[in-house]
Structure 1
Amino acid sequence: MITMRISTKMKKALNDQIALESAASNSYLAMASWCEVTGYQGGATFFYAQSDEEKTHMLKIIHYLNDVGAIATIPAVKAPKSSYRSLEETIKTALKNEQSVTKAIHKIVELAHKEKDHCTYAFLEWFVNEQVQEETKFETILQKFDLLGRDKLGINEVDKFLASDSGDPPSSTA
């Protein structure tokens, strides 16, 4: 067994972050499911990919904790919201979720700095940069509603954009 190389406080903070990433993954999964049954195939594709991405973030932290001998705790996660009024509401909710994750990451970075935990500080640098990209992504999507409109054609264009932003080609059906 590896001796724990981080503080108990840091271990708790990182385990709490695992729970937050897991909740984000489940939230995006619920959004994807809602989009799929509501007819937003681009949104569904986009949010399924987002869910996978959050799971990957969670796994990075799990592996890090295990590598430093702290042993990750796999959390129970409460059921996320599963119904939305609009595609735009899913994006606004996602942005709020990402802003919460950013605040949590910054608090852990501050703790690492305070504790002079250089290994964890360096590990978290990737997450800090990732959160800038995540928030920008959702802010850009919200701008699309202003640019393209909120009528059926505008929303269809945003849905196509979401399909293209997930790495899949946009749907050619209207």
Structure 2
Amino acid sequence: RKMQDYLAALEAQNSELILQNTSLEAQNLTLRTAQNKIIERQFELTTQNDALKRQNQALLGQLNDAKTYQSDVMTQNKELMAQHKQITSSHKELTTQNKQLRESLKLSESQILKLTKQLSEVQDQPPTPSMTQHDEQELLDLIDSKDKLIETLEQTVTKMRESLSMLNV
């Protein structure tokens, strides 16, 4: 009887161990499935990481290109600023020259008016009876030289006006 009890106990223990073994095999299968999923996820993450590294390298290249472009733009900006400064300086000089030409033109016009008035006054006066023929010739020569001077001044004024109109354009 003891033997039967012992055998029954061993069979019960064997059944229990078989159940535990089956349970452990099921857990082992579940763990292997989980492990395979983790390995697959790790592979996916490694693939994504590699893609992100390549994308990062491409972005670094683009950033370097942008920095180079920015540097070029800054250099061009400095050159344009220098050109602007030169143009502004030239504009000031031309404005000053324009003002000087206008003043010179006004002075020339004033001189022409003055000489025209003087000539008119001289021409309107009758010759003095005490004038000799030689004096009269000198006076006529003087009048001719004034006429030539007036004509020259008028031409100068015309040229100055043309220069002014060109400067104003």
Q: TM-score, normalised by structure 1?
A: 0.33
Q: TM-score, normalised by structure 2?
A: 0.34
- Which structure would you say has the larger Rg? 2
